[in-house]
Amino acid sequence: MSGMAGCMTAKIEEVRDAPTRITANEAVVLLAKPHLEGTGTEDKFLDCLERELVGESFSADHASAKKSGKDRDPRSNIKDKPFQVYADDQFVDAFYPWLEPSTAPVNPQGFSTFLSRPGVSERVSSLGVRFIVWVDGVTQKTDGGGSIACAVGPGGAGCLGLGWWEKQSDYEATVWDLRDGVSAGTVSTDVKGTSVMIGAVAPIPIISPVQSTACDRLANQLRSFLVGADDEDPVNAPPKQTKAAE
- Distance, in Å, from the CA atom of 150 to the CA atom of 142, rounded to the nearest integer, reads 25
pLDDT at 37: 64
Q: Is the pLDDT of residue 73 over 70?
A: no
DSSP-based three-state secondary structure for 94: helix
Length of the chain: 246
Residue pair 50/57 in contact by the 8 Å Cβ criterion: yes
Residue 37: half-sphere exposure toward Cβ, Cα within 13 Å: 0
Q: Is the pLDDT of residue 159 over 70?
A: yes
Tell me: the pLDDT tens digits for 203-237? 788 889 999 999 999 999 999 999 985 444 444 44
Q: Judge residue 34's burial from the number of C-beta atoms within 10 Å of its C-beta, 0-12 exposed, 13-18 middle, 19 or more buried.
A: middle
DSSP class per residue in 200-243: EEEEEEEE--HHHHHHHHHHHHHHHHHH--TT--SSPPPPEEEE
Look at the alpha carbons of 43, 186, 80, 86 in this order and tell me if their dihedral is positive or negative.
negative
pLDDT at 4: 55
Q: How far are the Cα atoms of 151, 185, 246 from residue 124, in angstroms, in the given order?
A: 61, 20, 40
Residue pair 212/162 in contact by the 8 Å Cβ criterion: no
Q: Which residues contact 158 (CB under 8 A, 6 or more apart)?
A: 150, 151, 199, 201, 202
Lowest mean pLDDT among 18-22, 169-173, 201-205, 228-232: 228-232
pLDDT at 243: 43
pLDDT at 74: 43
pLDDT at 141: 93
Spell out the domain ranges in the chain: 13-137+170-188+205-227
Q: Which residues contact 65 (CB under 8 A, 6 or more apart)?
A: 71, 74
Q: Judge residue 23's burial from the number of C-beta atoms within 10 Å of its C-beta, 0-12 exposed, 13-18 middle, 19 or more buried.
A: exposed
Q: Which residue has the higher pLDDT, 190 or 55?
A: 190
pLDDT tier, 244 (very low <50, low <70, confident <90, very high otherwise): very low
User: Phi and psi dihedrals of 174, rounded to 5?
Assistant: -100, 125
Q: Is the pLDDT of residue 104 over 60?
A: yes
Tell me: the pLDDT tens digits for 21-69? 998 889 999 999 877 666 678 999 999 998 898 765 554 445 445 445 5
